Structure 1
């Protein structure tokens, strides 16, 4: 037998600069920790400096390279100004988001503004600023947005949230074509319901918990750490042929 085996792709992101929004807790903090452990220098962005400092110190205590940036990502001018003053980020994780579940007939204009401002407009603001930096510097990169299983399916009481996440999925597909020639990949991760401190109240209701787990093929809720591998995969050369894709982390929800 002759020949050689192909080289294995790397899952490391050593020396790359990464920006994670909504990074003070939950999925954002988990994504930041995963990237720092994979060798990235991570900048944590959110509005609460106290949370950011605590998260930063936890990552540094493990030996990770980390700093923080107090930023309201719904403020377009602040995003452009703050990120434009920094060196380019080769990895972006758009994680900031919110949901206000209720039937559409009960949704107020303020709910629509709040959800679309953070889930859609802020994602566009941050992505635009990071993409500009990469294109101007001639650097490749990976843009990852935390979407949802609700970005590919529908669900009662989540018309507004689904609208926002379907918008993110469309943005991702279009931007993959805009930036592909520059070596910048654009993808989403689509988690199912994840157990976090923020969702604990919802899942204290046994009826709602049962409704959710019956729709997950694995029969259980997701865990925060189950998002981390997907983030590193999409940030690294291991996913070098992946762009314009939605990586489903939904335990089989969308397979029904």
Structure 2
């Protein structure tokens, strides 16, 4: 698999923390030419200092036109990982229009925006590329207080299927992963309460949350030629949560 990525250009949104950063570093280790995109300028600069060969791009993905300008300026890509995400958990009755709009703008519209630009250039240049969208298990199963987030990830799953259908004839594969709770820094803080964590863990047959590398492994597999006949899937990375 590692040889496949040598010299490939891959764009990773949300690429300076959590699953996104883990994906950037794994692809870098495999010899890819990686561009990490984020609105977090300080974290991007830190990443650049630590890994000088990683390219960085700073933009707020909620800004449709600025995002188009920045992504277009980055050139052609062989792969894209739409990893940037936003979550603001509120129950259905209390879900505000502001939280709903922010969630949709980052988790859904940004994928549409970035993917349109990248895929168009793939088609124009005959690049048989791969796109991986980061969804969630909440697109498949109801979880309390996740109304806006679940709605956004349901949209991601639907978009993934349509993108796969329309881009497949150009040799471009589009897939998604649907992780359970992943132990990023944010995940560890959010699930630090053992009572809260145990209630959720009881629904996961493997009895634990996922680690960043486990999500990264699935992403890298779907990007690679090892997944050359996999297109339009939503792959659970959830320890069996959705099987119960």
Which band: TM-score by shorter chain?
over 0.9
The answer to whether residue 16 in structure 2 is matched with residue 24 in structure 1 is yes
> How far has the Cα of 1:72 moved from its partner?
1.3
The answer to whether residue 83 in structure 2 is matched with residue 102 in structure 1 is no
- 1: CA distance, partners of 2:96 / 2:9: 39
Give the corresponding residue for 1:135. Answer: 123
> How far has the Cα of 1:11 moved from its partner?
6.3
SS in 1 for 2:206: coil
> How far has the Cα of 1:199 moved from its partner?
2.1
Equivalent residue for 1:181, pick from 169, 172, 197: 169
Write the mapping of 1:51-200 to structure 2, written as runs, cut at 5 A. 51-60=43-52, 65-200=53-188
Unaligned runs of 5+ in 1: 1-8
> How far has the Cα of 1:10 moved from its partner?
6.8
SS in 2 for 1:194: coil
> How far has the Cα of 1:123 moved from its partner?
1.1
Q: Is the 8 A contact 1:73 1:118 kept in 2?
A: yes
> How far has the Cα of 1:58 moved from its partner?
3.0
The answer to whether residue 37 in structure 2 is matched with residue 45 in structure 1 is yes
- 2: CA distance, partners of 1:235 / 1:208: 34
SS in 2 for 1:45: strand
> 1:240–1:32: structure 2 CA closer, same or farther, 3 Å change rule?
same
Unaligned runs of 5+ in 2: none
Please, what TM-score do these two structures have when normalized by structure 1? 0.91
- 2: CA distance, partners of 1:83 / 1:208: 40
> How far has the Cα of 1:238 moved from its partner?
0.4
> How far has the Cα of 1:163 moved from its partner?
0.7
Q: CA offsets per residue over residues 184-206 of structure 1, 9 Å max, x none?
A: 00000111101121123321212
The answer to whether residue 206 in structure 2 is matched with residue 218 in structure 1 is yes
> How far has the Cα of 1:59 moved from its partner?
3.4
- 2: CA distance, partners of 1:11 / 1:156: 43
Q: Is the 8 A contact 1:93 1:145 kept in 2?
A: yes
Give the corresponding residue for 1:236. Answer: 224
- 1: CA distance, partners of 2:51 / 2:222: 21
Give the corresponding residue for 1:255. Answer: 243
- 2: CA distance, partners of 1:180 / 1:224: 29
SS in 2 for 1:139: coil
Give the corresponding residue for 1:4. Answer: none
Aligned pairs, how many? 244
> How far has the Cα of 1:104 moved from its partner?
0.8
RMSD: 1.4
